[in-house]
Structure 1
């Protein structure tokens, strides 16, 4: 599965780097990203009730809460990792219907990619607007 994430998610084969040194550095970064996606998928299945702060920053949690509000009201601070990982999967196209299996690596990859883009945009926007 790790190799599939590295190959399909990161698209490591599409890198057209000419020096071995650059390719080694790129593969090292891709390995970290692939590991994180695989880890998120597996931790969602094994321990979804742990605190979301272990994986996500406060900004990422606020972004996810804004983009995908909870269906049922929850007590402040009681959102678990499973809730946030489902929100990430929804960003990646997961429908979260009752009969659907847990989100897989591809959906988690897409969702994390979108979340990172949105988080970077939210950090850069105040500097561009001047507020």
Structure 2
């Protein structure tokens, strides 16, 4: 339903206008015994009058975790806030490049969670996973088949400082970002040493 938000009483002097928003109240039903149902009260500026529209807005909100991860990679991994670009054109070019980096990290993380049994070659070039395999196992002997995506993401996360303890969550974007930085260096060295073969 539409609701009007009034400015706080202590900000009357600023003569802030009232804002019309749409309130969506969602309560999860049919939950397992002992589980706490989700309950969301969302406010949106997008007109919402029907059940279908409300479900669409809820689907948008459900994606917030991925969007937050996307921005975390930009802020923590790429350190966009600490860089000094000098002008807007440089900022735009860097942001476009970082978008590709963020995409690869999130793609790696989410795909490994969805289907970790895929071949790692859906994400890495052969030279990348081979360099990673050598580094992880301390051996130049390669397996007959490429490792699984889940295994490779775990190795990359370990390079980034992830400790796979029993109760830990799956690796997140920050350790995967750090791991990819190390993997880049490992791959460069691996390529150099293979030139002698």
The two structures have a TM-score, normalised by structure 1, of 0.84
Decide which of 128, 145, 148 is 1:60's aligned counterpart. Answer: 128
Instruction: Give the root-mean-square deviation of aligned CA atoms.
Output: 2.0
Which entry has the higher C-alpha Rg, 1 or 2? 2
Aligned to 1:51: 119
Structure 2, unmatched stretches of 5+, are 1-68
Structure 1 residue 27 corresponds to structure 2 residue 27:
no
Q: Distance in 1 between matches of 2:121 and 2:194?
A: 24
**Larger helix percent:** 1
Aligned to 2:109: 41
- Aligned pairs, number: 124
**Larger strand percent:** 2
Higher relative contact order (CA 8 A, sep 6+): 1
Note the 1:1-131 alignment, pairs <5 A. 1-69=69-137, 76-77=144-145, 79-124=147-192, 131=196
Deviation at 1:126, TM superposition (A): 6.7
The two structures have a TM-score, normalised by structure 2, of 0.58
Give the direction of change, closer, same or farther, for the CA distance of 1:30–1:67 in structure 2 (3 Å limit).
Answer: same
Deviation at 1:29, TM superposition (A): 0.4
